[in-house]
Amino acid sequence: MEQIEPAAKGESCDQGERPISPLRTIVMLGFWLVALPFAALTGIPWTYLTGDVTFLYKACMWGAWTGPKLAGIRVQVIGLDKIDRSRQYIFMSNHISNLDPPITVPLIPGRSSVMVKKELFKVPIFGHIMRLGSLVPVDRGNRDAGISAVRDSVEALRAHKVHMTIYVEGHRSFDGKLLPFKKGPFYLAEECQMPVVPITVFGTEHLMPKARFGIRPGVATVHFHTAIEPKDFGTREELIAKVRAAINSGLPKELQE
């Protein structure tokens, strides 16, 4: 997907009045429908033969990244150069659109696990690929299951030396403004003692709004903030406040708290 020059902090790119088109979504989903079985046919046997999921992961990330590009989405990236490729991180992002995961996770250097709603693991092929990739199923309506998902995430991080990407609100925002944060991701950060990188995503709330099937072509922004080191976490409430302040600071002024 095309990456464009970064704008000033918090500056939103004008999406204009270009119409939302269901056809663009069909193009994106159609590409994924073709690319996913191909990735599975080549990547799954290779993973079983070698015990290495890297090829399968890269193929899936390429597919995830290319789908929105074919739908007319361009991505502006800020702060990715701050990420030390030799370290593990927990990435915590806001969530405003179904476009957020396929434009955010492929940008992360190395391999990242993600907490994914459990229903997606029932999808043929897709669910199997997610299990091979050490993605973690979570039942968002069940508190005990949420705690179990955090424990599974701790095991995945320690066993596979991967990053973790979490959408800390738990649900997509309708208007692009921040929702209350879930506490589970911050328990995870405390348990693992890994640096936390807040991520601000904006623009996708216009390109593919919540509860809309169509996509409007345009520019989305993904802003990687400076990592918060474990020694600077403070209490869990203080860590929540620090992550929230960082994510909020990257939003356009009209969306800030």
- If phi over 0 gives left and psi between -120 and 50 gives alpha, with beta otherwise, what is residue 203? left
Range in 10-19, 34-43, 220-229 with the lowest mean pLDDT: 10-19
Q: Say how far apart CA 194 and CA 157 lie, in whole Å.
A: 10
Report the predicted TM-score, pTM, of the whole model to 2 decimal places: 0.85
State the average pLDDT over residues 38-44: 82
Residues 18-33 have pLDDT tens digits of: 889 999 999 999 999 9
Q: Which residue blocks in the chain are alpha helix, DSSP H?
A: 22-50, 54-70, 100-104, 126-132, 143-160, 184-192, 204-207, 236-249
By the 8 A CB rule, do 221 and 15 touch? no
Q: Say how far apart CA 159 and CA 222 lie, in whole Å.
A: 28
Residue % of the chain over a pLDDT of 90: 54
Cα separations (Å) of 217 from 63, 177, 211, 233? 18, 21, 17, 39
- Whether the per-residue pLDDT at 12 is higher than 60: the answer is no
State the average pLDDT over residues 172-182: 92
Q: Say how far apart CA 141 and CA 105 lie, in whole Å.
A: 24
Range in 9-13, 109-113, 158-162 with the lowest mean pLDDT: 9-13
Q: Say how far apart CA 125 and CA 33 lie, in whole Å.
A: 11
- Whether the per-residue pLDDT at 94 is higher than 80: the answer is yes
Computed over every residue of the chain, the mean pLDDT equals 85
Question: What residue spans define the domains of the chain?
Answer: 74-255
Residues 97-133 have pLDDT tens digits of: 999 999 999 999 998 988 776 666 677 666 666 666 6
Superfamily for the 74-255 domain: Glycerol-3-phosphate (1)-acyltransferase (3.40.1130.10)
Instruction: Output the CA torsion 12→248→230→134 (10° steps).
Output: -70
